Amino acid sequence: MLPHTYTNQSSTTGFAKHQDSAIASDNEEIAEVEINAGEAPPPPLRRSSSLFSLSSKEDLPKPEKKEYIQFIDDERHFSLIRNLHMADFITLLNGFSGFYAIISCLRYTLTGQTHYVQRAHFFILLGLFFDFFDGRVARLRNKSSLMGQELDSLADLVSFGVSPATIAFSIGFQTTVDVLLLAFWVLCGLTRLARFNISVNNIPKDKTGKAHYFEGLPIPSNLFWVATMALFVYKDWIHENLPFGTILKDTAFEFHIITIGFFLQGCAEISKSLKIPKP
């Protein structure tokens, strides 16, 4: 009888331990769910799709506060270069393309050879490629840069603002009013980019993190004028042959009629009521 009694006690004790373990496990799971319910969701996993996939719409995880502090307190040699990401270097190539387009325009003004203007058009298009490509790389690596957004805006200003305006001046939009209208066009692009940097997080987004619309025309829309001026150069419609000519000729207020288009597009870029749906 004694062995039998011992066996029952042992079995009962084992069952109690198993039951206690199950209850503890359930309590741990409930506690974990309660903790996770109050926390932000974890950052999305790295994508496995193609680098050139057009379906990449995920919102990149934002840098944490400690990353900003580490960046500011970093006193190592070449710390700025060390903190750049691969996507940042591609963004710098966008800025380089815009600068080289400006240099090509200056060479045209020195030599009068139109192939330099055509080269400027090519480098602006190359800048557009890098502007697209840096976003693909950032999403592939699933990591945003501390300086990425600011670098991107500055590079876009050079490639899609200053460079096209320089081309316009080089091919004949050179009166005082022309230059003022071109300056207005560039400054509207500058203002639009600054507004984007502070409002991008407040624009309504879908569940994938994609914004529903552009607030005002995006600055790459300036490529319309790049294409138009490329046609002018190809047709030799430059300088005295610019289409539609000038008004108020031989006065201080002389300007080319086409520059009104630059003015209107600048207004569309800084418009807050104009909302362009994203494709």
Structural domains of the chain, with CATH: 65-277 (1.20.120.1760)
pLDDT in tens, 206-239: 544 455 677 889 999 999 999 999 999 999 999 9
Burial of 271: CB neighbours in 10 Å, binned 0-12, 13-18, 19+: middle
Read off the pTM: 0.72
- CA atoms of 124 and 97, how far apart (whole Å): 6
Residue 202: how many other CB atoms lie within 10 Å: 9
Q: Which residues contact 143 (CB under 8 A, 6 or more apart)?
A: 60, 61, 85
Say yes or no to pLDDT of 267 above 90: yes
The model's confidence at residue 72, banded by pLDDT at 50, 70 and 90, is low
Q: What's phi and psi for 247, nearest 5 deg?
A: -125, 160
pLDDT in tens, 152-203: 999 999 999 999 999 999 999 999 999 999 999 999 999 999 988 887 666 6
